Amino acid sequence: MSIEYGPSRQPLTVVAHRGASGHAPENTLVALDTAHELGAETVEVDVQRTEDDVLVLLHDTTLERTTNVEDVFPDRDPYSVSDFTMAEIRELDAGSWFDPSFEGERVPTFAEALDRMEALDLDLFLELKSPELHPGVEKEVAAEFDGREGWLESGSSRESRRLVVQSFDWESVRRSKDLLPSVPHALLGRVPESRISEFTWAQMINPNHTTIDSAYVERVHDAGLEIMPYTINERSRMDAVLKWRVDGFITDFPEVGLEAAAARREGSRPTVRIVKPPVSVFR
């Protein structure tokens, strides 16, 4: 089976999900390093707030899955991120759950992650995770970019966006857009076709790839918005979705995504295959 691509409307964006989370523990500095080593230019991370108002990179609203919190703090159930101070979160191991070779990896602050992205020249898709649990987080995120060069400009040196802010909470996205008007914003999830026209103040709709088809992609484009679905890890599915002329996609395996994007740009007919790379250690 082969897929023939039409000409691309613009450069494709391959976004490394939570860093290169297919190869390293998600939302950690080593995941950002690994994404860079694999050739990614754009990463996605999730931000939440601790009890003492520090922004940190964590996806889940509780700490059990990606840290050893139950061992370190056995009597703190339900282990909500917002119930722990930054000093307490510093005590947690955020790497061993993924692979023993990552033992000692810590939960980074948002500021630390931005420092690393700046050093690696990485662009960012920033997800405001469960903002209803962190009232005012949009203002705190916006404040973090004050004084940081380049993030609030219209694009990066690669002629692509430097920063995109997104969330499943569309009201939070709107609040962030009001605070950061120069920054592209995205609605996570599938916006019903009948409602797309309500959100033309945004720049993107980024749904789960299993919820869309070519007609939906066309409808989003007709409204003047971009579309970058998540989280696509199989090469065969990447090829199929790219045929619909999406503007990019989010993946745990950026090296596979970059290969698929290159094939589309070159107009080649790639062999459809499923790739599930083994865990790699980049230390």
Query: What residues are annotated to the active site?
Result: 17, 59
Cβ atoms of residues 242 and 261 within 8 Å: yes
How far is CA 1 from its chain centroid? 31
**Side chain identity, residue 149:** E
3-state secondary structure of 201: coil
* Residue 174 buriedness (CB in 10 A; 0-12 / 13-18 / 19+): middle
- CA dist 259 and 254 (Å) reads 8
Give the DSSP H/E element, type plus range, for residue 205.
strand 204-206
Cβ atoms of residues 217 and 240 within 8 Å: no
Which segments within 41-106 are labelled E, that is strand? 42-49, 55-57
Q: How many residues does the chain have?
A: 283
Looking up tokens 């918005």 gives 225
Angle at 135 between CA 132 and CA 140, to 5 degrees: 125
Neighbours of 261 (CB within 10 A): 20
Q: List the beta bridge partners of residue 226.
A: 204
- CA dist 172 and 169 (Å) reads 5
